Chain A
Amino acid sequence: MDPDRALVEAAAAGSREAFDELVRRHQAAIVGLARVLTSGRGDAEDLAQEVFVRAWKSLRAFRGDSAFRTWLHRVAINVVRTSQSRTGRLLQMFTATHEEAPDVPSGEEPVDASLARRQMIERALAALPEELRVAVTLRDMQGLDYREIADLLGVPMGTVESRIFRARQRLKPLLAPLLERKE
């Protein structure tokens, strides 16, 4: 049972209050996903807003075949990829840093521990190829199951498992400080 179902139905009928509640529920997840997909380039909130605008406009077409959360993730991936295809070519022409991690001031420890943790994770994810980054983010940070990810990305479930496995292998040395603390 989709926990968002009642809100989705109300929003599809035109209730802005219901849609506002859906935004509140999912805004952090969608902003987080956009941050990872864009490698923290700074326009994640703008893209996340665009995701919700598109969702509002398309809500009547949402048939409930999947959970609203899964559908929203699909919208987010489409929005980010569309944005990247528009600007990516120009960025790649004039910069050579598109595969590098987002800038974090070196030598300065962020004051807030949770911020430091998040920055380390985002930097590690940014070092991955996109297909690995998306799969492991959807699984481990967004909590989608393998079947949902496979449907969302349009690839076989075995491919999803393989991507997640390889992503975690590559992330292990990059996240070593975090892993050591847990051990």
Chain B
Amino acid sequence: MIEQDPDQELVAAALAAAPPPEVSPSFLARVNARIDSERPGDDAGWLQLADFRTWTLRLVPAAAALALVAALWSGSDSSTTPTSSSPSPAVAQTFTPASAGDWQQDVSGNAMIEAALTGGDRVR
């Protein structure tokens, strides 16, 4: 063992003979005060990190900010570029919700394609 080396033994003995540090007389009282001051909810320690409620509450501001940004962005997008997001009149006429009635089982596929391409009358 390394203790059999005389130099190693000397150093080990010197360290072992080090006087213990002086501890404040109020050490125990301060430990107890800190324990008493801990809230019961703090007992969770690291497990508290896994508490989804904690994370949910902490993420509320970020989620609200993201929602606000998304709302502002979508609002400005639809108001500033109406032509890019609105269908042309012909397409609107063809594919308006009102033409949902066109989706009838007795309408052939070819007739629907023709109506869509020509912008003609609705298929009946």
User: Interface on A for B, CB 8 Å cutoff?
Assistant: 16, 20, 23-24, 27-29, 31-32, 35, 44-45, 48-50, 52-53, 56-58, 114-115, 117-118, 121, 136-137, 139-141, 143, 161, 164-165, 168-169, 171-172, 175, 178-179, 182-183
B residues near A114, Cβ cutoff 8 Å: 19
Chain A, residue nearest B9 (CB): A168
Question: A179 to B11, Cβ gap below 8 A?
Answer: yes
Chain A, Cβ-Cβ closest to B30 = A49
**What is the 8 Å Cβ interface bit string for chain B, positions 44-78, against chain A (1 contact, 0 not)?**
01000000000000000000000000000000000
Asked if B117 is at the interface of the complex by the 8 Å CB criterion, the answer is: no
CB-based contact A182/B21 at 8 Å: no
- Interface size on B (CB < 8 Å)? 28
User: CA–CA, A171 to B2, complex, Å?
Assistant: 15
Determine the distance from Cα of A165 to Cα of B13 in the docked complex, in whole angstroms.
Answer: 14
Tell me the dominant secondary structure on chain A's binding face. helix
Q: Are B32 and A16 in contact (CB under 8 A)?
A: yes
The distance from the CB of B34 to the nearest CB of chain A, in whole angstroms, is 5
Q: At the interface, is chain B mostly helix, strand, loop or mixed? A: helix
Bound form: Cα–Cα A139–B21 in Å: 17
Which residue of chain B has its CB nearest to the CB of A139?
Answer: B12
Residue of A nearest to B43 (CB): A57
- Asked whether any CB of chain A lies closer than 8 Å to the CB of B18, the reply is yes
For A146, the closest partner residue in chain B by CB is: B1
Known A28-B23, A45-B27, A121-B15; 14 more pairs at CB < 8 Å: A20-B28, A20-B32, A24-B28, A35-B21, A45-B23, A49-B34, A114-B19, A117-B19, A141-B15, A168-B2, A175-B11, A175-B15, A179-B11, A182-B14
